[in-house]
Amino acid sequence: MLIARAALEDGGTLLVLGLSEENRDRLAAGQPMDISRASHGMAIPAGLQIMIFAGETEESMRAYLGTLIGPETVVDQERPQ
């Protein structure tokens, strides 16, 4: 995986995650990727944790997340319930 972070002119931050073929194969095999500063280094902003996973449909991915989706979780740009 290639990870890069850059400051944008508007004061924002660009985080780039490049997946290798091996990364994509692992995702296809059902192995999610958990990314944090502790596991992947200084390019990851402090306090940010990222989970990348793959699924056949949005419904199957919602089911996979199971208990991680709660009443305060924002999914697909929808307001928390």
Q: Is residue 78 part of a domain?
A: no
Q: Is residue 61 part of a domain?
A: no
Contact by Cβ (8 Å): 61, 53: yes
pTM, full prediction? 0.76
Tally the domains of the chain.
Answer: 1
Contact by Cβ (8 Å): 73, 79: no
H, E, C per residue of 15-80:
EEEECCHHHHHHHHCCCCEEEEHHHHCCCCCCCCEEEECCCCCHHHHHHHHHHHCCCCCCCCCCCC
Residue ranges making up the domain that contains 30: 2-54
Condensed to tens digits (0 to 9), the pLDDT of residues 57-72 reads: 988 888 888 878 787 7
Position 39 scores a pLDDT of 93
Q: Is residue 17 part of a domain?
A: yes
Position 76 scores a pLDDT of 76
Q: Is residue 34 part of a domain?
A: yes
Q: Is residue 19 part of a domain?
A: yes
Q: Is residue 67 part of a domain?
A: no
Q: Is residue 31 part of a domain?
A: yes
